[in-house]
Structure 1
Amino acid sequence: MRYLAASTGVHGVELGVVTALFVLVAVLGFLAARWRRTGSPQHLHEWGLGGRSFGGFITWFLIGGDLYTAYTFVAVPAALFAGGALGFFAVGYTILVWPLVFIFLPRLWSVSRKHGYVTPADFVKGRHGSRSLSLAIAVTGIVATMPYIALQLVGIQSVLYVMGIGSNSSSFAQDLPLFVAFIILAAFTYTSGLRAPAMIAFVKDLLIYVTILVAVIYIPTRLGGWTHIFGAASTRLAAKNPVTHLPAGSTLLAHGGTLPFATLAIGSAMALFMYPHAQIGVLATKQRSTVRRNVSALTVYSLMLGFVALLGYMAIAAGFTGKSLGGNAQHAVPALFDAMFPSWFAGIALAAIVIGALVPAAIMSIAAANLFTRNIYVDFVNPAATDSQQTNVSKWVSLLVKFGALAFVLGLDATSAINFQLLGGVLILQTFPAIVGGLYTRYFHRWALLLGWAAGIVYGTVVAWQQSSATQHHFASQVALIPWTHQKAYIAVTALVVNLVVLVVSNLVLRAIKAPAGVDATSPADYDHDSDLEQTASVTTEPETV
């Protein structure tokens, strides 16, 4: 096996294939600027939401390309490689998420279409009449998205490392391809907006499906079949660590692992479509019925993710260890492809990971830029900003977000960056009451929602900060002890409980003292709205001093 042999030098064939496919998607990204254009490119609806014109076929690829990222492709198998069955929570949460969002996403689409909302924070401001609450939602979305973008770089870094770029290179030579890739990504995102990742998503999904289909059929034949794969994984995971004297994990959930698994799955499912980049594909569709059809059809990705997860066990059966992977379990899948496939197909498989990083990174940067423009720049800096000014601000902020994420990941080791991302789920889940709750009721006072959000954010951040391990002082785990119990759970879920308790109590007090509740810019009919974009109104901007 090439990787286990720790060969020096660049794997030329693989690098050539990856480079060729990267050039192809870069060209597509620039060509997308004129693809399906419905209006002026200097309007945020055009640049940031693709003119709200995407049909079912495009939306299916766009949302799938957005949610199933390079991080998913690399980190989910790495979790199984390092710890076993607990990593399967990712499969569980993708099964739970689609019935959940089938209920509320069409309502979010309808009210956003009716009022011209571009971001979830736009909706929160219109529904609750509070710029302060809208600002909290926007800042949370931006902060939670930044490390998520950075983690797409981790996937690219793992590919470069396995191809021989980085393991035996200077720091500059190691990072240069990453800089080039993100400069090109920044350029075609700036030019084409959401249309670029929408077009590239076709290539990305095709490469990933081909790679996974071949991997789950071909690789087991080289490893002695599935019986040997699961047997090798069970034996390796059960071996005790000489330092901790504890096993790394098991292929079945260990004692006490049920609640962490369940809360990770449920909390992640609730959090996924709170991320602004997950909602942007929904808001870009042209019909309400398209949202429902796509949510139903996207369940096929859950099956794919199950196969992706099993690559972690294949890497164990192939003989990889933490030491042979350079101490980084995230190299497991790229190393497995490098070792098992012929060089030409390994290049295709590794390109799937690289392109799988570009699509979501572009969408995430656009979503974060839209939040800044609409809910910080327009609301607090330049309320009279024209459509053209808003679009230009979003374009420049999308560049800053990308390179901020690049600096973030280059300044930290990969393990630290990933554990910082776990905080993203803790943060973004605290927006659930304001967004999803607001789609159904205005019973909760805007100030109560803000107080609950603050309590959840503070609690979740402090608890996550306190989690340590032998190799990391902070943010070392996504699960922690529930106060006054001996049970562990996903920190995002316990933080949400704190959020809800503060929300309910403060809401009773605020309603009792008749605190001003703000103006609701929406009406009940707006949540079932389904019409053309021409009928949408501008975002309501009532004066607000809160």
Structure 2
Amino acid sequence: MALGITILLVVLTIAGSVLYGSRNRGLGGVTEWAVGGRRMGTLIFWFLNAGEIYTTFAVLGISGYAWAYGAPAYLAFLSVSLTAAVGYWLTPHIWQAGKKGGFITQADFFAHHYQARWLGVIVGLAGIAALIVYVQIQITALALVLRLSVDADISNAASAIAAAALMLLFVMSAGLRSAAFAAAVKDILMVVIVVALCVTVASHVGASSIGDIFIRVQDAYPGIGSLPGRDADSGLSTVWMMTAGINVALGTYVFPHMFQLTYSASDTWAVRRNAVFQPLYSLSYFFIILLGFGALLAGTMPPGGDPNAVLLSFVADRYPAWAIGLFAGTACLLALVPGSVLLLTAGSIFARNVVRPVVPDLSDRSELLISRASMVGCAAVAVYLTIGANQSLVDIGLSAYASIGMLAPGVFLAFLWRKTNAFAVLGGIATGYAVLLLPAASAVLVWFPEWEKGLVAMAGNAVVVLVLSPLFNALQRKSNVQAPA
């Protein structure tokens, strides 16, 4: 019964999404497929935008973090609220720039604003790299659902490949509008299911009420409700919480897919209303964390001790088959929808900002075909990263935010300081990646104990951009003066 309900829910949602998206299939080629024709109204934009925030990272990842660590899972409350505040200011600027310039991708914006096509290529490649890490989150989660729902003996590789294939099949069917419809379905389903689970969770773990669950888990694991949580040596301190929250808030709307989603809005009111009401989603984290604590009280032990599988295992152990099927099906959609949008964005960037500069006379049809073909390559890399990985979804997510944070100074300064120079932005990106990736950078990180590594790299990046911009501007002015008439 559980498997049947899971399959039925996913198939019906995909079918409805394809039908919804196909109504506009012939209305604009790449523009329609990649940014929904720039006609997304407030309601559909709300679901589409929330669909990229309210993912398996939020549900399976945060519940697993609560189970494994406790209070560090409260990062979800902090990051969503701060992200909305940043988005209220930033997204209207992104939308206006996209509307005026007719941009499809984030790299279009960089290339045009900084008058440097080469910077668009570099930013495009950096964005694709960050997106692939984020796709890894969704493939990891979807593969996990497939293994637990279909056959516990299925290999990690086979389940990851199947998950990627399902995402590709979905996104190639009709584009962004299909994802918008599916996002609305899965958001409504997940909120209803999570709340329903929480209403009954106390009776399944031997507690008298929701409040009693918090009391019991605190008694059983002293310190779990305050930082650093269950593991005193985890480094997940108050400093980590603050810096990680800031890093996520500054990086969320810098992700290429969030840029692309912002372009899809019909007007600035749609994006501003979204930022105003988006913090309401953070209320759902109370129930998600509660379920993580409930699984801890129930003694749930997922296969291999994988925290990503805690909530799935808890539901499978304690609830009837129909509830398991609904939850597993909705969890599939939680991974399928955002994963599809991420692949769509990566494909758009590759075709438009990596291939087109080399082949400038590329037709729209050829661009669309290259975009779709490149999605297969991105999915294959994400599958490779997924196989053998054992990180929690939250840790993988923070790695993605650290990576995309290298583009944040170039985005924010584009709207704050007209004198920002393209070569300085490149220098900042190189500096930030050096802090993240080079072993020698550990000497710098020692000065910032327990800080989120991504925020340290982003700060170093920004300092370099601010210092180098006046120098490069002066050199360019001198070069222009000395150039022969």
TM-score (ref. length: structure 2): 0.90
Give the corresponding residue for 1:261: 241
- 2:93 is aligned to 107
Quote the offset at 1:61 in angstroms: 0.9
Name the aligned partner's letter for residue 55 of structure 1: G
User: In the alignment, is the contact (CA less than 8 A) between 1:334 and 1:350 conserved in 2?
Assistant: yes
Q: Cα deviation per residue 1:11-50 (whole Å; 9 max; x = unaligned)?
A: xx2111111112112322432442345724xx21011111
Superposed displacement of residue 227, structure 1:
4.1
Aligned to 1:64: 50
Distance 1:129 1:255, change over 3 A: closer
Deviation for aligned residue 1:388: 1.8
Q: Within 2, Cα distance between the matches of 1:392 and 1:261? A: 43
Structure 1 partner of 2:18 = 30
CA distance in 2, matches of 1:418, 1:92: 14
Whole-Å separation in 2 of the counterparts to 1:363 and 1:134: 21
* 1:463 to 1:101, Cα distance in 2 relative to 1, 3 A: farther
Maintained 8 Å contact 2:57/2:394: no
Distance 1:494 1:180, change over 3 A: closer
Gaps of 5+ in 2: 481-485
Give the aligned partner of residue 254 of structure 2: 274
Is it true that 1:78 corresponds to 2:64 in the alignment? yes
1:6 is matched with which residue?
none
Tell me the equivalent position of 2:214.
230
Whole-angstrom CA distance in 2 between matches of 1:315 and 1:93: 24
Question: Following the alignment from structure 1 to structure 2, what is the Cα–Cα distance between the partners of residues 256 and 356?
Answer: 27
Distance 1:107 1:464, change over 3 A: farther
Are 2:79 and 2:248, in contact at CA under 8 Å, matched by a contact in 1? yes
TM-score by structure 1 length?
0.81
Match in the other structure for 1:290: 270
Structure 2 CA distance, aligned partners of 1:235 and 1:131? 59
Looking at structure 1, the residues matched to 421 and 317 of structure 2 have their Cα atoms a distance apart, in angstroms, of 57
**What per-residue deviation string (whole Å, max 9, x for no partner) do you get for residues 184-220 of structure 1?**
4312312311122112112211210111110221112
Correspondence 1:139-538 to 2 at 5 A:
139-163=125-149, 165-166=151-152, 169-171=153-155, 176=158, 178-223=160-205, 224=207, 225-238=209-222, 249-250=229-230, 257-321=237-301, 325-379=303-357, 381-410=358-387, 412-415=388-391, 419-462=395-438, 482-484=445-447, 487-514=449-476
Q: Counterpart of 2:451 in structure 1: which amino acid? A: A
CA–CA distance in structure 1, aligned partners of residues 404 and 420 of structure 2: 19
**Corresponding letter in the other structure for 1:28:** G
Aligned residues: 476
Show the counterpart of 1:20: 8
CA distance in 1, matches of 2:158, 2:446: 46
Gaps of 5+ in 1: 1-12, 241-246, 467-479, 519-546
Q: Which residue pairs with 1:471 in the alignment? A: none
Q: 1:254 to 1:455 in 2, by over 3 A?
A: closer
Higher helix share: 2
Distance 2:65 2:334 in 1: 19
Give the direction of change, closer, same or farther, for the CA distance of 1:78–1:333 in structure 2 (3 Å limit). same
Q: CA deviation at 1:290?
A: 1.2
Tell me, yes or no, if the aligned pair for 1:455 and 1:502 is still in contact at 8 Å.
yes
Say if 1:150 and 1:417, in contact at 8 Å, map to a contact too: no
| Structure 2 contact 56–331 (Cα < 8 Å) conserved | yes
Query: Cα deviation per residue 1:296-341 (whole Å; 9 max; x = unaligned)?
Result: 12221111123222221111111124xx542211111111211232
CA contact 1:37–1:50 (8 Å) conserved in 2: no
* 1:93-104 aligned within 5 A: 93-104=79-90
RMSD of Structure 2 on Structure 1 (CA): 2.8
Contact map agreement 1:29 1:189 (CA 8 A) in 2? no
Is the 8 Å Cα contact of residues 92 and 268 (structure 2) preserved in structure 1? yes
Distance 1:177 1:496, change over 3 A: closer
| Deviation per residue, 1:127-181 (Å, 9 max, x gap) | 1111232222211110011021121122123323443622xx253xx65555445
Structure 2 counterpart SS, 1:415 = coil
Displacement after TM superposition at 1:289 (Å)? 1.5
Which SS does the other structure have where 1:118 is aligned? coil
CA distance in 1, matches of 2:445, 2:383: 35
Q: Tell me if structure 2 keeps the 8 A contact 1:211–1:349.
A: yes
CA contact (8 A) 1:145 1:368 kept: yes
